[in-house]
Chains A and B, each alone.
Chain A
């Protein structure tokens, strides 16, 4: 071992490589902020500079908010992701409890179907689900954005695995107190499962906030647009002309999740890598 170096060569090399990589990872974010802060004339100049000579962030933001109803789109994002998550929990938790703690005919089959369902990529069912919503007259509505995702087989699986680890004594004690099976799900299991539900919530909200494919398919109306759809339309209308406002709009759209992530990194990383199980 040559650890006797007076200068910690290995440590310096580690930081050098990691900082170089970090520069690449952060480049788009830095470039986005930089461009969003520049006036038009500086954006369209071949000379590279990060710090604007003249700060125009506020103008670009104002123009972005004037050209697109960004607040409405952010609100749509909140409405859709929160509705999806709440409904997913309402559907998945009871099913997961029954699969983990109750005995009934068909339980093994149902669980096998849940495991199979996890393997199906969302794009695979898009055409029939679209036709279904078309038949039901639900296209181009919040319902079209939310309904297909109310069932999360992954959520059922995750919560079932968690409920398996909850001691039966807890369930028995609740039954002794005369709480019904439905009551047990919400009064006993849900409080016990808060960490798992939080992780699943982060996973679900991030996935649906960032989803582009499904809203693109089912939406027409401008006022229903979700944040990713809003950026894409903004880009199609403005690209080539007003990059400043476009970058400002992109900043606004990614801000909620990125800020939440910076405040609770551990939880976010945990939640999002849950998909690793998929």
Chain B
């Protein structure tokens, strides 16, 4: 890492001031540096690192908001958690959501990026349209989706009926509710992934395609397999992990549309955490759920940095 301060001193000090003033000058700048980082460092401690340590510590207590005192109970919260059917349901639903939304949003994002990039006309119009759901307030759009999925008057069932297909009570049926939420999740995430893939596609050197063609890769599929896909390796890893982390955090659509129901079929980790922590105020227990959630998210991040290191040779 290059060190800015040293070069600054070397350049400035001999030119204008006496050598005597050098240490004072330097230390004044150091004080300034501490003053400059102080608010940020303090807030980081109070609002981020402290609370992170706090949530881990809380998970070993029976603290409840408003209770006069609390005590350390070791792993009891975790034992309760692992014995709780709702927790396992929430974990299974969250994983199902991730496993459906990540491939869906990544493959669709890639396909759209490839389609947009394969021609020159209307590129920015398409990009705008596909990006629109990323911008629009998810809660508002979730409410719109709810009406689109309305069993009787919704657009989706209306179209199905017109096509002579059976209709569903999407969000009220325990066998379809989670998948309906997945569909909303994919719809919302596709545009974001598309933009990342577009950036990746633009950065692939043209010469590689020319070289591949000279080597006999004449079909579009061969060029994709030999050039595009390997060159997109790092971007793809990145998009997969980002989508994974975001899907793990799914909450908004669940809370406003299903509240985890019907019969817990859409209960997900953060929603369980919210219910326990902010409706029943069982802070200690909710903290334990948070820790489990955190382990999953950090594991995904670790995988990303591992794969990113391996992917470097592509670029």
Which A residues lie at the B interface, using CB under 8 A? 1, 10-11, 14-15, 17-18, 21-22, 24-29, 31-32, 35, 43-46, 48, 90-92, 94-95, 97-105, 107, 110, 113-114, 117, 119-121, 123-132, 134, 147-148, 150-151, 153, 156, 168, 171-172, 175-176, 180-182, 185, 206, 209-210, 212-213, 216-217, 227-229, 231-232, 235, 239, 243, 246-247, 249-250, 253-254, 257-258, 261-262, 265, 268-269, 272-273, 275-276, 278
Q: Which residues of B contact A250 (CB under 8 A)?
A: 140-141, 143-144
**Min distance, Cβ B135 to any Cβ of chain A, angstroms:** 5
List 27 interface pairs A-B (beta carbons < 8 Å), by A numbering.
A10-B118, A15-B122, A28-B133, A28-B144, A29-B136, A44-B153, A95-B39, A95-B41, A98-B37, A102-B4, A105-B30, A107-B33, A124-B297, A128-B52, A128-B58, A131-B65, A134-B65, A151-B43, A172-B11, A213-B270, A216-B255, A243-B147, A246-B143, A254-B141, A261-B128, A273-B192, A278-B242
Identify which of A25, A46, A231, A276 contacts B238 (C-beta below 8 A).
A276
Q: Is the interface of A mostly helix, strand, loop or mixed?
A: helix
If A27-B155, A254-B137 touch, does A95 touch B40 (CB 8 Å cutoff)? yes
B131 with A127: CB separation less than 8 A: no
Identify the 8 closest CB pairs spanning chains A and B, nearest first.
A103-B5, A95-B40, A128-B54, A128-B51, A181-B32, A125-B51, A151-B43, A228-B139
Size class of the B contact interface (CB-based, 8 Å):
35 or more
Please tell me if the beta carbons of B47 and A148 are within 8 angstroms of each other in the complex: yes
Knowing A113-B49, A125-B47, A171-B8 touch, does A180 contact B32 (C-beta < 8 A)? yes
In the assembled complex, which residues on chain A have CB atoms less than 8 Å from the CB atom of B190? 25
> CB distance A212 to B139 under 8 Å?
yes
Greatest chain B CB density within 10 A among A22, A125, A278 is at A125
Chain B, 1-24, contact with A by CB distance < 8 Å: what is the 0/1 string? 001111110011000100000000
Q: Are A24 and B138 neighbours in the complex by a CB distance under 8 Å?
A: no
Nearest opposing residue in chain B for A8, CB measure: B119
- With contacts A21-B130, A48-B162 taken as known, whether A127 is within 8 angstroms of B8 at the C-beta atoms is no
Whether B40 lies near A27 (C-beta < 8 A) is no
Binding site for A on B (CB under 8 A): 3-8, 11-12, 16, 29-30, 32-37, 39-41, 43-44, 46-52, 54-55, 58, 65, 108, 112, 115-116, 118-119, 121-122, 124, 126-141, 143-148, 152-153, 155, 158-159, 161-162, 187, 190-192, 195-196, 199, 218, 238, 242, 245, 249, 251-252, 255-256, 270, 273-274, 277-278, 283, 286-287, 290, 293-294, 297-298, 301
Given contacts A26-B129, A48-B162, A98-B33, contact A126 B195 (CB under 8 A): no
- A sample of 20 more A-B contacts (CB under 8 A), given A147-B47, A227-B137, A273-B199, is A21-B108, A26-B129, A29-B136, A31-B148, A102-B4, A102-B33, A110-B37, A124-B52, A132-B46, A151-B44, A156-B40, A171-B8, A176-B12, A181-B33, A239-B146, A246-B147, A247-B144, A254-B136, A257-B137, A269-B195
